[in-house]
Amino acid sequence: MSTPKPPPTPKLAWPGRVEDGRRVLKYVDALSEAVALEMARDENVFLFGLDVDDHKAIQGSTRGLLDRFGPARVFTTPLSEDAMTGVAIGAAMAGMRPIHVHIRMDFLMLCMNQLVNIAAKARYMYGGQIKVPLVVRTIIGKSWGQGAQHSQGLHSMFMHVPGLKVCAPSNAHDAKGALIAAIRDDNPVVFVEHRLLYATEAFVAEAPYVVAPGRARVCRFGRDVTIVGVSNMVVEALRAADLLKEAGVAAEVIDPIWLAPLDSDTIVESVRRTRKLVIVDNGWSMCGAGAEIAARVAEACAGEGPLQIQRLGFAPTPCPPSPPLEAAFYPNPATIAAAAYKLARPDAPAWMPDAAKAELAYQLQFKGPF
């Protein structure tokens, strides 16, 4: 009789695919890999939220976690976003590290009281006696008629409140590293994902690593104009930079990654060289992330010579589902490129790239629902 083999230890890392000897992983898988690694490392980490444990696994982003860590650490909730946020805060005050998941950012409006009045202030108004290590994972929707209540990018509301941190990663590498950083952070972090980024791929190391708060990344160097993108708009800005290159304009593209704390130094340093700044927000411009970035740059560069700033963002309307209306609602590579061109070449005639060239591969591939 042979000794029975012990069951294989479940692998925490997703396989992905290998390119140039390095692993390529999708954004959606990078999210669940980050959580799996942290749950394995720290037993105080748990993940909960409506539908995190069902067969669709929050559009794949919690896939595998229930099997690996069991129902005590991966569980669904009643439709009680307000109280569930309070529950997460209370558990965090007791030393645990909850990750509260919302399939759409719009639902965070139901959590505002707890996030703004308790989570953000507890450390301060309780004189440093407690901390709230909480991650709120949330997804911005877009396309396939998501409509007014499944598409909002509301990150600036949270940037406004001292005590909260806000992160909006634009690629799989940052999604993994920033989520690990958020889970290890001793403060409440609103972690803003974008549905259209879920299928995008990047090189992602298998080992845990952090993409630390308050450090922006220069994604592309250029001397003519600085473009700052937020969340999914980083991808659109990079495509705009390609279009601009064809028109002879070299755009520098910056991804803040973390919106609070915001690394405005990196942006200011770039604008000091280009004197021209386009901010493309994945939200409304009014009191938005772009307004904050523009103000900081204007304050930092005051008296240093001419400065041109242009904000782009959602049209000042609710988001419509009908395709032609929705297309006009969002900035896209063509409108971004045209705005940047106008700043970079003020004396040249207005230029708009071919609309067909502005379409992104994932926009063509993406099919609903969600």
Partner 1 sequence: MPAKAKSTPKKAVKSGASLRLYRSLRRIRRVEEEIARLYPSDKIKSPVHLSIGQEGIAVGVCDALEARDAVSGTYRGHATYLAKGGSLAAMMAELYGKDTGCARGKGGSMHLIDMEAKVLGTSAVVGTTVPVAVGYALAQKRLKTGAVVACFLGDGATEEGCFAESLNFAALHKLPVVFVCENNGFAIHEPLSKRWATDRLCARVATYGIPAKRFADSDTAAIRKHVERALLKMRKGGGPIFIECLTWRWREHVGPGEDYDAGFRSKAMLAKWQKKDPVAKAAKAVSAKQRAAIDAEIEAEIAAAIAFAEASPFPSPEELGTDVYA
Binding region for partner 1 (CB under 8 A): 46, 72, 77-78, 80, 82-96, 98, 113-114, 117-118, 122-133, 162-163, 165, 186-187
Smallest distance, Å, CB 188 to partner 1?
A: 10
Tokens of 159: 């940037």
Smallest distance, Å, CB 160 to partner 1?
A: 14
Phi first, then psi: give them for residue 212, nearest 5 degrees. -70, 150
Residue position matching structure tokens 């949330």? 138
Give the HSE-up count for residue 70: Cα atoms under 13 Å, Cβ half-sphere.
Answer: 3
Is 173 in the active site? Answer: no
CB 267 within 8 A of CB 254: yes
Sign, CA dihedral 354-358-364-365, equals positive
Comparing CB distances to partner 1, the nearer of 77 and 363 is 77
Say how far residue 370 (Cα) sits from the centre of its chain: 17
Smallest distance, Å, CB 322 to partner 1?
A: 34
Comparing CB distances to partner 1, the nearer of 118 and 238 is 118
Smallest distance, Å, CB 293 to partner 1?
A: 21
d(CA 138, CA 148): 16
Smallest distance, Å, CB 299 to partner 1?
A: 19
Smallest distance, Å, CB 124 to partner 1?
A: 5
Sign, CA dihedral 48-54-60-64, equals positive
Is 150 in the active site? Answer: yes
Comparing CB distances to partner 1, the nearer of 87 and 307 is 87
Longest dimension (CA), the chain: 86
Mention every residue, 6+ apart, whose C-beta is less than 8 A from residue 63: 29, 32, 57
135-140 and 189-194 as β-strands: parallel, antiparallel, unpaired?
parallel
d(CA 89, CA 31): 22
Comparing CB distances to partner 1, the nearer of 159 and 309 is 159
Which of 102, 150, 155, 194 is an active site residue?
Answer: 150
Which of 33, 38, 81, 201 is an active site residue?
Answer: 81
Q: How many CB atoms lie within 10 A of CB 124?
A: 10
Comparing CB distances to partner 1, the nearer of 259 and 336 is 259
DSSP 304-340: SS--EEEEEEE-SSPPP-SHHHHHHHS--HHHHHHHH
Comparing CB distances to partner 1, the nearer of 180 and 339 is 180
Q: Which residues are catalytic?
A: 81, 150
